[in-house]
Amino acid sequence: MSKTLDELLDEAELAELQSHYGEYRQQHVRLAMEPESLAFYRQAFKKRRGEVLFALRRGSGEVLLHTKQNYPADLYRVPGGGINWGEFVRTSLFREVCEETQLDVQDEQFLGILTYEFHDRTRADEKGAIPFVSYVFVVPEVEGEPVPLDESEKISGFKWVPLQELSQVAAKLRSMPEDDFGNPDWGRFRALGHDFVIENIC
């Protein structure tokens, strides 16, 4: 049985995040998906209670993107990773950044929370909707070049881009055709995190 959105959000942890980082934004999105996509995410989300997305920035302001072996050619996006059940959000951030890049996290900023409800586009009701949560961070003044630590992540490349280029990344994700990785539902889902970074980063 799927968790509810309220069950995914720990009020004590949210209070701790606010105490540590200050006020943050919360945005909720309802996203219509094909039944096949819902079946995939229903299984995938059993392994995690949410995810962290992290915009790593150089002193020049450029943002790090990555691509993976199973992504379409020339598709890069902001990195992220799952939050395990029983794992704190901040612990997940440090672990995932290390596994994917081996870069140091210092003076990170918490931009906010994206909550989602994925629902079946072929149904008029909300039965079977799937909740999910993204905790979005920016890490400024990152030094060095990324090197993957965890081979299971299948990261095949990185690149640094100007912040404004994230709009183009989001547009490319939204325009993914039916025969591309994860079908258009994955692209529309992933575009939302990039929008959130653009709208909230200082």
pLDDT of residue 117: 95
Q: What is the pLDDT of residue 180?
A: 52
Q: What is the pLDDT of residue 201?
A: 86
What is the model's pLDDT at position 151? 85
Q: What is the CATH number of domain 5-200?
A: 3.90.79.10
**Of 159, 106, 144, 130, which is closest to residue 49 (Cα–Cα)?**
130
In contact, 68 and 81? CB cutoff 8 Å? no
pTM of the model: 0.95
Q: What is the pLDDT of residue 177?
A: 82
pLDDT along the chain (202 residues), means of 10: 82 96 96 92 92 96 94 92 95 96 95 96 84 97 93 92 96 83 84 96 75
Alpha carbon distance 188, 174 (integer Å): 5
